[in-house]
Structure 1
């Protein structure tokens, strides 16, 4: 997958058995996501990279969550997520991400997904500043990797007075964590 070579070099694919993404789901989103993401879905399904730091997702699992970030996201398509619950999604031609720490949606400036993966997610400096990669790596050593339906989450959530440090991270079910956080927006 030449389009994301830098990403794959910095965050190599993890080994393991991962849930498949049904062909009907792949077909449903084929015109909305880049071809390399479809290839990953076909070959690996919902899979992780960089010891679970980044995950592909089944967009259907987020159709009820993304609108809770704002009515304007009711047709958004989730494409990736981090091990700390950041969700990357496409709205029209723009890629955005939901930050589970600050409960904010940020734009990635109309940049193609392969550029985002190679130079934002796959580069340690922005990955740490924007997506808390160092905290993830510390929690990974203590808690072990999250499963495909889990993330590391601050307990209590930062928005509820929690502190942003590794000791406050716990494994949580991703879906439940996102539903809780969107209720705080």
Structure 2
């Protein structure tokens, strides 16, 4: 019997438009580090790119440098060992802490690190399953002040996103730009996030989960 949360995610987001097979060696490397459900997803789907790139699961190793740079000189860096597990079409990175779970999101468009209160270590897999089971496509989209979503319009203009591509606002918000559809461009996620972090230190925004 399959994992119902993985099945729900695929029912909601559809089959991956593309994926990279995860080798047995890589699965073995991560199986005691990341949530069991994530490893199951990798086995079933690989590092999948869903909904034309609205959300993609990624190889954590390929984002280590970006993550280290964003956490540099912040109090978060020493609190846990973190790994990027997913990215969205608009450059948000979902991050898993080995001891604290999915407590960090890098919101690159706003130059923020979203910081949630820690989860108990025995709940880390449940937390990831909840992520799979309760997220909707709109949760990863952007909208303007009138409630109009950007993603489908961006796909029509630029085409689907590849594994490491995102839509980004140029000029960047941190440099005084606006979060307007007409300012969107398709860029390489890792290069763009490195440049954004080079411009300014991120704000840390904390939320407590009861």
TM-score by length of 2: 0.75
TM-score by length of 1: 0.84
Match of 2:91 in 1: 85
SS at match of 1:33: coil
- Aligned equivalents of 2:148, 2:35: Cα separation in 1: 25
* Structure of higher CA gyration radius: 2
Gaps of 5+ in 1: none
Gaps of 5+ in 2: 120-125, 202-210
* Deviation of 1:129 (Å): 6.7
Q: How many residues in Structure 1 have an aligned counterpart in Structure 2?
A: 181
- Aligned equivalents of 1:93, 1:30: Cα separation in 2: 16
Match of 1:37 in 2: 38
Given the superposition, is the C-alpha separation of residues 123 and 169 from structure 1 closer, same or farther in structure 2, using an over 3 Å criterion?
closer
Q: Is the 8 A contact 1:53 1:133 kept in 2?
A: no
Match of 1:179 in 2: 194
Given the superposition, is the C-alpha separation of residues 23 and 133 from structure 1 closer, same or farther in structure 2, using an over 3 Å criterion?
farther
Pairwise CA RMSD? 2.5
1:155-176 Cα distance to aligned partner (Å, 9 max, x none): 1111112211122111101110
* Deviation of 1:133 (Å): 9.8
* Deviation of 1:104 (Å): 1.0
**Larger fraction in strand:** 2
